[in-house]
Amino acid sequence: MVDRYEAEGAQGSFQAGSDEQVLSNKLGISDPEEMDDAELTLLEKLYQQVLIERLPARSIIVQDLKDWHRYWLGNIYPWAGEIRAVNLGKDGFSLLRPHRFRAC
């Protein structure tokens, strides 16, 4: 079985009962499909809020990305909106390594 997430450190802890398939979260969700649905629902709200209603009329900055991430996942993950401190991948896709992304 391939892990849904490959992560290390505090931001990479798993929800109890999820068989290491769901990251620790505020809602206690342990089912991967339920988490996918929750994240997708919130992503749709973020898309409407940011890209349709309030896209900045300027260059996007790091703080915008952090704010959008917090808005999207802040009700699920306590670390939402923070610069990631761990390597993280999902479904075989590695996300940008944290040391390559630095605030200006």
Query: Any idea what the CATH number is for the domain that residue 59 is in?
Result: 1.10.3290.10
Decide if pLDDT at 2 tops 50.
no
Residue 101 has pLDDT above 70, yes or no: no
Q: Which long-range contacts (CB under 8 A, 24 or more apart) does 25-29 make?
A: 25/76, 25/77, 26/75, 26/76, 26/77, 26/78, 27/75, 27/76, 29/76
Mean pLDDT value across the chain? 81
Contact (Cβ atoms closer than 8 angstroms) between residue 26 and residue 40 = no
pLDDT in tens, 43-64: 999 999 888 888 889 999 999 9
Answer yes or no: is pLDDT of 98 > 60.
no
pLDDT of residue 100: 47
Q: How far apart are CA 50 and CA 38, in angstroms?
A: 18
Number of domains in the chain: 1
Most confidently modeled range among 11-15, 18-22, 35-39, 83-87:
35-39
Task: Provide the domain limits for residue 93.
Answer: 5-100
